Amino acid sequence: MEFEQFVPESYPKDLLDKDWKERKCYCVKGRRDFLCLVHNMFVKNDDVWLVTLPKCGTTWMQELLWLVINNFDFNAAKSEHLEIRTPFLEFEYIVNEDLKTALRPIEMLTSPRLIKSHLPLPLLPAQLWSKLPKLIYVYRDPKDALISQYYFGRSMGFNMDKTLEQFLTEKIESRETECDFDHVTEFYFLRSQPWLYYTSFERMKMNLRQIIEDICQFLDRCISEEQMHQMLKHLSFEEMKANTKTNHIWEIEQVRAKHRLPYEDHSFVRKGKVGGFKEELSPEFISRVDSWINKHLMRYNVTLNDLLLLND
Ligand code: A3P
């Protein structure tokens, strides 16, 4: 995939003490017009936005949020694909490359809308920073997230010519992946804002009940003990792995149909582990990736454990 640098029409004002001129953003070649469309899109005050880097537990949080917002309607959740109930902002354009229909899945939603995006803060709609609707951000150890990305890619026919180590080497040597540290730190430094709930995959694994309670409070929703019990069961790894509506089958089928590549089957909800990288990578390779992480985080004066909220 070819990338090019992209400079948005404007940057958020009074949000972060940052020299935006120094902030590099990259996009896949051919997506500039789409990013302009997103920059100017209409945001509703009662929208709920879920922003993450890929493979950080987005789907897990998305199902959680959708249920909280929709009064714990488990029957409705089980009868429609997650991606239709709560669209991925970039998806329609990735698949159909038509600006006229690119935002239709979002525009067709009834309020309150739950919208997922992987875009970095400066490329998200400009109205977010004036209207400040509720926004949730989830981060995950990049070692686990990148491994997850490798297998997810293979399930659509990408990365088939690469070993896991080759894939990771390319990632840690690319200027685009470097920007992931801007992606997360921008939200991390905003984490005490009342409109933002910042958490990590690791925190979700540690105490999902607490995260559900926090989210209910953040979104001004009540939850009974019975609903909590159902939530914990529905959101468990085993149930989500077996749930045909939370494994992105609808999206994956469209990507497979577009590219028609030979692929490997990996269920979307795959291993769901914290530290699964230890089973996949040699100690030498792990320390190489850790050095890359630490080198970049030094620029922001934070550690990986800070970003994962494991020091709180
Ligand atoms: P693995 O590939 O490491 O298993 P995203 O939704 O951001 O793409 O993240 C996908 C990752 O979240 C996958 O990680 C997937 O297994 C994991 N995941 C999804 N639902 C989960 C759940 N209920 N419990 C634990 N992990 C889950």
Cβ(58) to ligand 1 under 6 A? yes
Q: What is the pTM of this model?
A: 0.98
Q: Which two tokens stand for residue 173?
A: 């040597």
For ligand 1, the distance from its centroid to the CA atom of residue 283, given in whole angstroms, is 23
* Per-residue model confidence (pLDDT) at position 133: 98
pLDDT digits (tens, 9 = 90+) for 27-85: 999 999 999 999 999 999 999 999 999 999 999 999 999 999 999 999 999 999 999 99
User: Please, which residues have CB within 8 angstroms of residue 16's CB and are 6 or more apart in sequence?
Assistant: 121, 186, 189, 190
Going by C-alpha positions, the residue among 43, 4, 32, 19 that lies closest to residue 195 is 43
Say which residues have a Cβ less than 8 Å from residue 64's Cβ, sequence separation at least 6.
211, 212, 215, 231, 235
**Ligand 1 mutation pick, 59, 137, 204, max ligand atoms within 8 A of CB:** 59
The finding on whether 146 has its CB within 6 A of some atom of ligand 1 is no
Distance 33 CA to ligand 1 centre (A): 31
Are residues 223 and 68 in contact, defined by beta-carbon separation less than 8 angstroms? yes
Which of 50, 51, 53, 60 should be mutated for ligand 1, with most atoms under 8 A from CB?
60
pLDDT of residue 275: 98
| Burial of 298 per CB tally in 10 Å (0-12, 13-18, 19+) | exposed
Distance CA 300, CA 295 (A): 10
Alpha-carbon gap, residue 235 to 284, rounded angstroms: 35
Residues 6 or more apart whose CB falls under 8 angstroms from that of 251 comprise 83, 88, 91
Omega prior to 112 cis, within 30 of 0 = yes
Q: Can you read off the two tokens belonging to residue 131?
A: 């209207």
Q: Which helix (H) or strand (E) holds 246?
A: none
Kindly indicate the confidence band of residue 1, based on its pLDDT and cuts at 50, 70 and 90. confident
Sign of CA dihedral 34, 42, 96, 54: positive
Is there an atom of ligand 1 within 6 Å of 270 CB? yes
Ligand 1 proximity of 241 Cβ (cutoff 6 Å): no
Sorted by where each begins, the domain ranges of the chain are 3-248+265-308
- 59 Cβ below 6 A of ligand 1: yes
**Contact of 189 with 18, CB cutoff 8 Å:** no
Q: Which fold has domain 3-248+265-308?
A: Rossmann fold (3.40.50)
Helix (H) or strand (E) holding 3: strand 3-5
Report, as residue numbers or ranges, the catalytic residues: 118
Task: Retrieve residue 109's tokens.
Answer: 């939603």
Instruction: Say whether pLDDT at 312 is over 90.
Output: no
Tens digit of each residue's pLDDT (9 = 90 or more) over 12-25: 999 999 999 999 99
**pLDDT per position as a tens digit, 94-104:** 999 999 999 99
Atom 10 in ligand 1: which residue has the minimum CA distance? 55
d(CA 105, CA 55): 22
